[in-house]
Amino acid sequence: MDNRRRLLVLYATDTGNAQDVAERIVREGERRHYAPILHSTSSYEPNVLPMEENVIFVVSTCGQGDPPAMMKIFWRFLLRKSLGEHWLEKVNYAVFGLGDSGYQKYNMVAKKLDRRLSDLGAKPIVPRGLGDDQHRSGYEGALDPWLVNLWTALRERISLPSGLVEPSKDDLSNTQLDSPKFTVIYHSAPPVAELQSLTISANDALRSVEEDWTQHQRARVMMETAAGETPTIMEEGPGHGPDQAVFAKMVVNRRLTAQDHNQDVRHIEFDLGPNAVKYQPGDILTLIPRQNPEDVDSFLNRLSLDGDAYVTVEAARLEPACRWNDPELLQLGPVKIRTLVESVLDVSSASPRRYFFEVMSHFASAEHEKERLQYFATSEGRDDLYQYNQKERRSVLEVLLDFPSVQLPLEWILQLVPRLKPRSFSIASSERAHPNQAHVTLAVVEWTTPFKRKRRGLCSSWLSKLDPSQGEIYVPVWITKGALKLPAPSIPLILVGPGTGCAPFRAFVEERTVQSESGAVAPILFFFGCRKQEKDFLYKEFWQSCTEEDRVMSFNNGGGLFVAFSRDQSQKIYVQHKIRENRELVWRLLQSGAAIFISGSANKMPAQVTSCFEEIISSEGGVSREAAIRWLKQMELKGRFSVEAWS
C-alpha cells in the first residue's frame, strides 16, 4: 500500500458519538483502498504529529466549550508556544466537530482546533464540518455531505496505486459485512476466584453492593482493554475514580416539589462514611446507574443469550501472545454475560447509532426487515431513521423488538450497543457544613416523544425510587472537579441558578455561612427561578433564612435573594428579568470585584443571562456592547465568570 494513502483518524469523545463517526471514516476509508489508522487523542503521542501526512480529526464539544477529558492533554500540547508556525507545514488535515447549537459555545472545540492547526502550518483538505444535534437529522445532516467532499478531495490529491480501481457508488452501498473488532471466548465453568467472597464487609447489604460493583468493574475494565482504550486519568486517593469508589449510604430521599406538581425534584443525602473523601463547593458526585433487571432479562431473552455463561472479551486483531489466557489478564475475567450487559451496555435508555442498523441488515432473515434496515443505513433514509430512532429516543431493546428476525452475535452486540455512561450531579452541600455527607438535587427526567410515548430518564428514575426507610441502600460514588470554583470569602458573588441549577449554589452559600462564623464575608446576590412559588420553589426555607438579619445573603450586607416565578402571572418572568430589575445592585457588586456564576439548563438560559450582564455592563458602565463583551471575557479568564450548564 502506498504510504501516502495512510490516514490518521483521531477522535475525542464524551458520549461516544465522535468515536462512532471516526470508526465510520475508517470503514469508508478501507473500502476506498486507503490505510486508515484509528486513535483516540489520549492514546496518540502528539509530538509525532508532524510526521503524518493526512490527519482527520473528529472532536466533540462538552459543556461550555470544553474539550472531552481524553483530549485535554493533547490540546495542552498543541497550545505550546514553542511549536511555531511551521511545526505542521507538511501535514494536511480535516476537522469534523460534534456539537449542539442550543449551547452558547457551539462546536467551540472543533473551531479552536481548526484555527490552531492552521496557525501551526497545517493545510486543510476540506473546510471544517460542524455537526449539530439540533438538525432534523442530527449531526449526520452535516456529516454525510462533509464526507462526500472529503473523499472527493482525497481522491484528487492522492492517486490510486497501480492495479486498484476506485470503487463505484454501487460497490460502496452494497458492501459486505465488516469483521467485528471483538472476539468472545466462552468458558465452561467459572474460575475459582469467582467462587470466593470478594469482600470482608459484615453488613449483608453493603457486601452485596461491593460484590456487584467488583464484578461490574471487572467487566468494564475488560471491555476497555479489549477496545484499546486508555483509562481515564483520575485524581489519586479514595473516592476520586470508579476504581476507588466510595460505597455511600443513602440516608434521605425527599421530594422537594409539591405532590401535585408535574416535575418530581428530589433532595438526596449520602453518608460517605467515617473516612469520607473530602470535596470542595462546586465539585461533582458521579455514579453509574443500575438498569432495570426486567429490561436486562428481556434483552438476553431477545438475543437468546445465556446470562449465566462465562466469557472473556479481547480485541479481534491482537497477536496470540496477548490473548486473555495470560494469567495476570485472566484476573479481570471471565465474567458472566449478564454482568457485561448490566455494567457495560446501555440497552434500555440509549438510542443505537446508524451503523447498528447497517449491521442488523446482514443478520435479518425476514426480507421486509432487511430492506427497511438497508434503507435506514443509506443517506436517502437518514431523515426517516432520525425520526424513527433519535427523535423517539428508541432504546436498543425496543429496536431489536421491532426487528424480530435479527439475531446478532455477541461480538457485534458488544461493539454496537452504546456504553452505559456515568451520570454526574453537582454536589448541593458544603462538606464543612455536613461532615461525611454529600447532597444532590435530582430532577426526575420525563418527557413525551413526537409519537406521544412517555419516556423516563434511566438514572433519575432509578435513584428516585430508592427508599432508605425500607432498608439500607448503598450506592458506589466518586468525586470529580466541577466547572464552578468558590473564590475567596472576600469576593462578592452573583449567583444565577434557576431550577436544579441552584444545587451548587446551596453548597456555596452553606460554605460562606460556615466561613462567616470566623470572619467577614462578602455579599451574595442569588437569582433563582421556577414556575410557581407554591409548587417548585426549591429549598425555599433555606434561601429565605440566609437573608435574615446579618446572614450571608441579607440585604443589610449588600446581598439579596431574587426569585422569578415564571407561571404565577400572565406574563412570564425569568431570572434575566430579575437581574435587569436590580441592575444598579448588580453593577455595584461588579465594580467591587464580584464573581458571576451561572448554573442550569443549557437550552437558552445561559446565553440570555450572559446577554443581560453584557447589557448592564454596557449601560451602567457607559461603554459599548463590544467593550462589555470583552469585560466579561476578561472576567472569565480570571475565573470570575463561570457557567455550568447541561442539556
Question: Domain extents for the chain?
Answer: 3-164, 354-416, 493-646
Answer whether residue 14 shows pLDDT above 90: no
189 or 574: whose pLDDT is higher? 574
pLDDT of residue 145: 94
pLDDT band at 195 (very low <50, low <70, confident <90, very high): very low
- Render pLDDT for 389-405 as a digit per residue (tens, 0 to 9): 988 999 999 999 999 99
The CATH number of 354-416 is 1.20.990.10
Residue 289, C-alpha cell as written in the block: 446507574
Strands 129-132 and 246-255: unpaired
Give the residue-averaged pLDDT of 136-142. Answer: 85
Contact 410, 258 (CB under 8 A): no
- Measured CA to CA, the distance from residue 157 to residue 149 in angstroms comes to 12
Nearest by Cα to 509 from 574, 434, 579: 434
Answer whether residue 168 shows pLDDT above 90: no
CA distance readout (Å), 307 to 298, 304, 332, 400, 421: 11, 9, 18, 17, 21
Q: Is 393 among the annotated ligand-binding positions?
A: yes
Q: Same CATH topology for 3-164 and 493-646?
A: yes
Q: Is 572 among the annotated ligand-binding positions?
A: yes
Answer whether residue 632 shows pLDDT above 50: yes
Residue with C-alpha cell 455579599? 523
pLDDT band at 328 (very low <50, low <70, confident <90, very high): very low
Q: Is 62 among the annotated ligand-binding positions?
A: yes
pLDDT band at 191 (very low <50, low <70, confident <90, very high): low
pLDDT of residue 62: 82
Contact 135, 143 (CB under 8 A): no
Q: Is 131 among the annotated ligand-binding positions?
A: no
Q: Is 460 among the annotated ligand-binding positions?
A: yes
Q: Is 425 among the annotated ligand-binding positions?
A: yes
Give the residue-averaged pLDDT of 68-84. Answer: 91
Answer whether residue 200 shows pLDDT above 70: no
Answer whether residue 325 shows pLDDT above 50: no
Domain covering 493-646, topology: Rossmann fold (3.40.50)
pLDDT of residue 378: 87
Give the residue-averaged pLDDT of 526-533. Answer: 97
Q: Is 588 among the annotated ligand-binding positions?
A: no
Provide the residue count of the chain: 647
Give the residue-averaged pLDDT of 519-530. Answer: 96
- What DSSP state is assigned to residue 469? G
Q: Is 459 among the annotated ligand-binding positions?
A: yes
Q: What residues contact 42, with CB distance under 8 A and at least 6 apart?
A: 12, 70, 71, 73, 74, 230
CA distance readout (Å), 263 to 436, 444, 503, 612: 30, 7, 16, 28
Q: Is 574 among the annotated ligand-binding positions?
A: yes
- Measured CA to CA, the distance from residue 49 to residue 26 in angstroms comes to 18
Beta strand segments in 349-499, E: 423-426, 437-443, 446-448, 454-456, 474-480, 493-496
H-run or E-run covering 96: strand 92-99
State which of 29-43, 223-237, 493-507 shows the largest mean pLDDT. Answer: 493-507
The CATH number of 3-164 is 3.40.50.360
Beta strand segments in 581-640, E: 595-601
pTM of this structure: 0.89
In our burial notation (b when 16+ CB lie closer than 10 A, e otherwise), range 369-394 reads bbebbbebbeeebbeebbebbbbbeb
Answer whether residue 238 shows pLDDT above 90: no
Q: Is 457 among the annotated ligand-binding positions?
A: yes
- Render pLDDT for 340-370 as a digit per residue (tens, 0 to 9): 999 999 999 999 989 999 999 999 999 999 9
Average pLDDT of every residue of the chain: 89
Residue 84, C-alpha cell as written in the block: 511555531
Strand partners, 476: 247
Answer whether residue 428 shows pLDDT above 90: yes
Q: Is 646 among the annotated ligand-binding positions?
A: yes
- Render pLDDT for 602-628 as a digit per residue (tens, 0 to 9): 778 988 999 999 999 999 999 999 999
Answer whether residue 219 shows pLDDT above 50: yes
Answer whether residue 331 shows pLDDT above 70: no
Contact 181, 227 (CB under 8 A): yes
Q: Is 545 among the annotated ligand-binding positions?
A: no
CA distance readout (Å), 331 to 138, 192, 220, 344: 41, 10, 13, 18
- Render pLDDT for 557-602 as a digit per residue (tens, 0 to 9): 899 999 999 999 999 999 999 999 999 999 999 999 999 999 998 7
Strands 423-426 and 454-456: unpaired
Give the residue-averaged pLDDT of 39-67. Answer: 91
Q: Is 237 among the annotated ligand-binding positions?
A: no
pLDDT of residue 165: 75
Answer whether residue 321 shows pLDDT above 70: no
Determine what percent of the chain is predicted with pLDDT higher than 90: 70
Answer whether residue 330 shows pLDDT above 80: no
Answer whether residue 4 shows pLDDT above 80: no
Angle formed by the axes of helices 367-376 and 354-362, to 10°? 150
Q: Is 82 among the annotated ligand-binding positions?
A: no
Q: Is 188 among the annotated ligand-binding positions?
A: no
Give the residue-averaged pLDDT of 250-270. Answer: 97
Q: Is 232 among the annotated ligand-binding positions?
A: no
- Measured CA to CA, the distance from residue 400 to residue 360 in angstroms comes to 9
DSSP per residue, 269-288: EEE--TTPPP--TT-EEEE-
pLDDT of residue 322: 37
How many CA atoms, within 13 angstroms, populate the side-chain half-sphere of residue 174? 4
Answer whether residue 196 shows pLDDT above 50: no
pLDDT of residue 272: 94
pLDDT of residue 319: 41
How crowded is residue 50: how many other Cβ atoms within 10 Å of its Cβ? 16
Q: Is 575 among the annotated ligand-binding positions?
A: yes
